[in-house]
Every structure is written in C-alpha cells, then in structure tokens.
Structure 1
Amino acid sequence: MVLVLSAVPEGLRGHVTRWLMEVSTGVYVGNVSPRVRDRLWDIVEETMGGGRATMVFSARNEQGLAFRVLGDPWEPTDFEGLTLMMRPTASVGEEGGSRPGMSKFQRYRRARGQRPRSGD
C-alpha cells in the first residue's frame, strides 16, 4: 500500500507513521490488512482538512491495484474494466457552448440549430 499526503496537518502525518513507513516527505508505504487500511483511510478523511490524499493498494482486479483520492481534481474512473486516473475537463457550457477543436463552421451550424453532420 502507498499513501501520498500533501498539505495535511502534522498530527495526521504522525498518526500515519504508526502504521506505515515514510520513505519520502509525504509518501508512506506499508503492508497492512484491509481492515487497518480502511480504518486508516477513514482517519485521513476525517482529519485531512484542505489537503490532498491518494492511496494505492493491491486489489483482486485485472490491474491488481485500486485507487482512492481526496481533495484532488484527478479522479479514479472505470474504463472498460481498468481504473484510470482522469482529470475532469471544463463543461461545454463554460467554453461558450462549443467543444475544443470545433471548427467555426460547426459552431455556426449549431448556432443556427442545424443538425450536425455524421461524425460530428
């Protein structure tokens, strides 16, 4: 199991060192039972404040790994059975009603309410 903490209270970092070994600043590694791992994650959720936390641990899936993330824009996403870390993109409404890479002609057609061509 690997746990990465950043911008968290010192008390939380001290508590984590009871179970895991700190190999670099904010990076903790160890082998704990699933019960301890889940309880440790609960403690991180309760006390982390405005920081960020990422946990990677072994799991019985195709990758052999599972992820948990808090306070970070990157989110674990299931993609055809694989867990990928993806950063959410801005919604279409925030970009003026068009997708990035859309041609001026396509924007014009959408503004006029015309049906998009196949492949658009």
Structure 2
Amino acid sequence: MVVLVLTACPAGLRGHLTRWLMEISPGVFVGAVPARVREQLWERVLDLSKDGRAVMVHSVRGEQRLAFRIHRHEWEPVDFDGIELIRRPTAPAARYGMRQGWSSASKYRRAARRK
C-alpha cells in the first residue's frame, strides 16, 4: 500500500501518477503497487516536482509496518528507539527569520472592515 501526498506540484506529475495510483483528493494518491514501481514513481516525483513538496508513506516488513519518504518538506522522519516518527518543526516563523503575529497588510484590512 502506498499513500503519496503532493503539494504545489505540476499537473503533469499528477497526471502521470494517476496511471498507477488513485487520486482520492487533490494531491493525495493511494494504491497498491509493487516495490519496483513504487521506487520508480518516487524517482519520477523527485524529477518532476520542481518547487513542490512530497510525502510518501508505504508499507514494509517490520514492527511498524510502514516507512516514510520526504521531499522538500519541513517535517522530517526521525528514528526514535527503532520506530520512525515524523518530527514537526517547533517554530517555523523563527527558523525563517519571520516575525510572529499578523502582517501590517492584514491589520489594515481588518481595520478597514470595522469602519
């Protein structure tokens, strides 16, 4: 079983993936394909995703019975005592040097709506 989630990827990549997987929601693909096909699909995702992001979860043998693959995503897989977990970034705004809170533009729009 394979679950593939694409964000901001070209439509051509989505069209290519529909040959092998079923798109159950925009950018979310599910299917049961052999390991060789899964590897080739992942290579195609890496080649065609451009600035987009991708997350693939697939079944494997073992205690957890699943594995993750991440491409250009802030969340990252981390091994924790033999179990692979996904680590979420704690403060994405601070990491990229952005200020916390609302932008000046949104404050102006909010003030204009109140009048």
Q: Same fold (TM over 0.5)?
A: yes
Q: Aligned letter for 2:75? A: W
Q: Aligned letter for 1:39? A: Q
Match of 2:63, SS? coil
User: Take 1:59 and 1:88, find their aligned partners in 2: how far apart are those partners?
Assistant: 26
Kindly state the Cα deviation for residue 10 of structure 1 after the two structures are TM-superposed.
0.6
Cross-structure match for 2:98? none
Over residues 35-63 of structure 1, what are the superposed CA-to-partner deviations in whole Å (9 max), with x where a residue is unaligned? 00000000000110111100001011211
Q: Aligned letter for 1:53? A: A
Dislocated runs of 4+, deviation >2 Å: 87-90
User: Take 1:56 and 1:3, find their aligned partners in 2: how far apart are those partners?
Assistant: 6
Q: What stretches of structure 2 of length at least 5 have no aligned partner?
A: 96-115
Task: Give the TM-score normalised by structure 1.
Answer: 0.72
Cross-structure match for 1:41? 42
Cross-structure match for 2:102? none
Cross-structure match for 2:101? none
Match of 2:46, SS? helix
Map 1:1-120 onto structure 2 (within 5 A). 1-88=2-89
Task: Give the TM-score normalised by structure 2.
Answer: 0.75
Which protein shows a greater Rg? 1
Kindly state the Cα deviation for residue 87 of structure 1 after the two structures are TM-superposed.
2.9
Match of 1:50, SS? coil
Q: Aligned letter for 1:59? A: V
Kindly state the Cα deviation for residue 88 of structure 1 after the two structures are TM-superposed.
4.6
Does 1 or 2 have the higher relative contact order (CA < 8 Å, sep 6+)? Answer: 2
Identity level (%): 58
